[in-house]
Homo-oligomer: A and B are copies of this chain.
Amino acid sequence: MKKFYNLAPGPTEVPPELLLASAKPTIHHRTKEFSQLFKSVSSSLKSIFKTQNDVYILVSSGTGAMEMAVANVLSASDKAYVIDAGKFGERWGQICKTYGVDTYIEKLEWGSCYDVSMLENYLSKNPDCRAVFTQLSESASASTLPIKEIAQITAKYPDCVLVVDAVSGLLAQDIRMDEWGVDVLLSGSQKALMLPPGLAFISFSPKAERANERSNLPKFYFDYKKYKKNLEKDTSPFTMAVNMIYALQWSLHRIDEEGGVDTILEKTQKYAEAFRAGVQAIGLKLLSSCPVNGLTAVVVPEGIDGKKLKEEFYTRFGITIAGGQDKYAGKIIRVAHMGYFAPSDVILALSALEMLLFDMGYKLELGKGVATAERLLYKGC
């Protein structure tokens, strides 16, 4: 009868009602019934992406959508600029290099803010750069990148597309594909959309479509043109994960009922602010100077074993959180605030953190973090 709480930044907690909705009989994917459903969810995704462009649904993890972006807008030996602000930025570089792209990697310290003058500087010297790759939310450091400002720069280069990975960012951090001028935007099912892992989503602007016209990199399963041609007939080129589409329908309907994207963004921001204030109130530091709202990375204080701390969240309180990756393993903990989430989740995470740190010898005033969050959460939560 142990009770569990999933506060990891993805796969996030999935509502039980969504899981049951996805357990409906698997109908054939080449039927009118399924096409109707597929058309409807594909179309609803546009409002989440804040775009008029089509949004394509892939059976893959988010990395598949990242590879699709690279393989469809570039050609071999093209120049590309990658902002590597953490593990997922690093992945952009790895994918580009795999395809023989001439890749410039702008490596940031994890958690530091990106200064767009770096991009201005690079592009002024490399006006033939074909693509800029970045993240809306770099999950490894819980940092956001200034997408709107970056897009203002890439807009000045008619042959340079801006590709944004919003796997952990979408529906947690504002992104406006059309208004800001993002050319390729992609996400995954297992973050703020509240689904299990198994689907990815991707959209291409007219500028990205022009880039695709000249792209000569090999692709088949992730070939943009196949998805485009099939979506015109309300279907997908390859067998769709039918039951995940039931889950997506449930999620999109629920998001709509809650008041839509902006309501959810506000709510997530409030939770993130309360959590950040709570951890700072007990003397802890955030890893990021440009924190995202979907999750928070907290620096584990000197002398405390971060791996043990993460484990005890689970063994003593049934709470799943994430630790740090690569050189931050054992140095940070990461706690989500997105998707199927409520004010009490902020509180229980802060409270467990207070109790565990207290027990591990860190000096703090019990309840102070929680009280700080309460003040920020109570007004109409």
Binding site for B on A (CB under 8 A): 4, 6, 8, 10-11, 13-14, 16, 19-20, 22-31, 59-64, 67, 71, 94-95, 98-100, 188, 190, 196-198, 217-223, 237-244, 320, 322
Contact of A198 among B11, B28, B198, B220 (CB under 8 A): B198
A-B residue pairs in contact (CB < 8 Å), sample of 8: A8-B28, A11-B28, A16-B23, A19-B23, A19-B25, A60-B221, A67-B221, A196-B242
Closest to A197 in B: B239
Q: Do A238 and B19 touch (CB < 8 A)?
A: no
Given the interface pairs A23-B20, A197-B29, A242-B196, the reply to whether A98 lies near B219 with Cβ below 8 Å is yes
List the B side residues contacting A30 at CB < 8 Å: 322
Q: How many copies does the complex hold?
A: 2
Given contacts A26-B196, A98-B223, A196-B243, could you give 8 more A-B pairs where the C-beta distance is less than 8 Å? A6-B28, A19-B26, A22-B23, A23-B23, A27-B320, A60-B238, A98-B218, A188-B239
Given the contacts A23-B22, A29-B197, A241-B197, A100 and B218 also touching, CB distance less than 8 Å: yes
Q: Is the CB of B10 within 8 A of A26?
A: no
A59-B59, A220-B98 are contacts. A238–B28 as well, Cβ < 8 Å? no
Contact A198 B243 (CB under 8 A): yes
Q: Is the CB of B220 within 8 A of A95?
A: yes
Q: A11-B26, A196-B242 are in contact. Are A218 and B99 (CB under 8 A)?
A: yes
